[in-house]
């Protein structure tokens, strides 16, 4: 059974049209604020949904005992969700549409699904259970997805507060294929915040869009990018038009071949990725927390010699 596109989203019950752009003061030390923008958003958006339904309106998944089930989870919102399949063995078989070779079977580990990330999970159902979120937010309590196995008498219930280990992307893949080691171009992106005109903005190497420095590449070359999160927010960094290989997290090599197009970079974390420049054009590279992107955390990968046009005339193609 293939349950496609389990869209996870969130909304505000009472503050959806509020303008947050003026809620920060010049000179504020954001590292010491009692409540930053991200924490405010967690409080404001208090309804989480599955395919547009929330709470008791979420329809259960009905499966047959012994049937292999494949679920696709798409985080259509902006917050990271800690996904839990209660007491069920499962395999993560794909990330962002890229198959994971030789995936291991795990149980009762939280899967951190960042904004725009997609995870495909496979399991053989032998009892009813629930899929819930361990986000430590009010909205998470509105998310409970029952998986009902035909003939099972198991009663499902929420288990949002249970302490569980977090699934580790860096250690999961058991494939031993070696990663590319030769790079023609290397870039480092420092991700942070600062205050401009009384507004908190999100920066790449101290600059905000449209003044961020592009990443010029040549068609056919292997490109390395180091992402360093120096702030207090999670940044799900998304590259358009390419897939990239995750090489290391905090200096520790990632096992096997993990290909993605979006990678969560947690506060204080350093992630190294590489991609093949095989799709000429001008491609956005941005944080997929779209408030962060709108407030500056965007740049682009620009192919040298590409003869396309830049609609906003931000810059000409780099020769």
pLDDT at residue 98 in the model: 95
pLDDT at residue 295 in the model: 96
Q: Cite the residue boundaries of each domain of the chain with CATH code 2.60.40.420.
A: 2-167, 185-303
pLDDT at residue 245 in the model: 95
pLDDT at residue 48 in the model: 86
pLDDT at residue 5 in the model: 59
Domain 2-167 has CATH 2.60.40.420: yes
Residue 71: name the closest of 87, 90, 57 by CA. Answer: 90
pTM above 0.75, yes or no: yes
pLDDT tens for residues 135-161?
878 778 888 899 999 887 767 776 766
Query: Can you name the CATH fold of 185-303?
Result: Immunoglobulin-like (2.60.40)
pLDDT at residue 183 in the model: 78
pLDDT at residue 33 in the model: 43
pLDDT at residue 74 in the model: 96
Residues of the chain below pLDDT 50: 12-34, 316-319
């Amino acid at each position: 059974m293939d349950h496609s596109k389990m869209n996870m989203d969130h909304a505000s019950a009472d503050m959806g049209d509020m303008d947050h752009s003026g809620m920060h003061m010049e000179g504020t030390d954001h590292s010491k604020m009692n409540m930053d923008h991200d924490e405010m958003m967690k409080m404001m958006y208090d309804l989480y949904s599955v395919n547009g339904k929330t709470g008791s309106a979420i329809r259960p998944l009905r499966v047959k005992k012994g049937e292999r089930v494949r679920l696709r989870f798409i985080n259509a919102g902006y917050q990271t969700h800690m996904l839990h399949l209660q007491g069920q063995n499962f395999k993560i078989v794909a990330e962002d549409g890229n198959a994971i070779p030789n995936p291991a079977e795990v149980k009762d580990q939280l899967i951190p699904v960042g904004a725009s990330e997609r995870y495909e999970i496979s399991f053989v159902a032998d009892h009813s259970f629930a899929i819930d979120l361990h986000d430590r937010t009010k909205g998470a309590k509105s998310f409970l997805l029952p998986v009902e196995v035909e003939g099972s008498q198991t009663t499902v219930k929420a288990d949002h507060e249970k302490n569980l280990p977090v699934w580790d992307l860096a250690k999961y893949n058991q494939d031993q294929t070696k990663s590319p080691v030769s790079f023609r171009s290397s870039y480092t992106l420092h991700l942070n915040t600062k205050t401009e005109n009384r507004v908190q903005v999100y920066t790449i190497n101290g600059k905000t869009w449209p003044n961020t420095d592009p990443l010029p590449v040549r068609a056919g070359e292997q490109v390395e990018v180091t992402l360093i999160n120096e702030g207090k927010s999670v940044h799900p960094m998304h590259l358009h038009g390419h897939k990239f290989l995750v090489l290391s997290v905090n200096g520790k090599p990632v096992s096997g071949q993990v290909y993605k197009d979006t990678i969560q970079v947690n506060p204080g974390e350093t992630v190294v990725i590489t991609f093949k420049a095989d799709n000429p054009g001008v491609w956005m590279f941005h944080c997929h927390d779209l408030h962060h992107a709108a407030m500056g955390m965007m740049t682009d990968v620009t192919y040298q010699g590409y003869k396309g046009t830049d609609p906003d005339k931000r810059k000409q193609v780099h020769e």
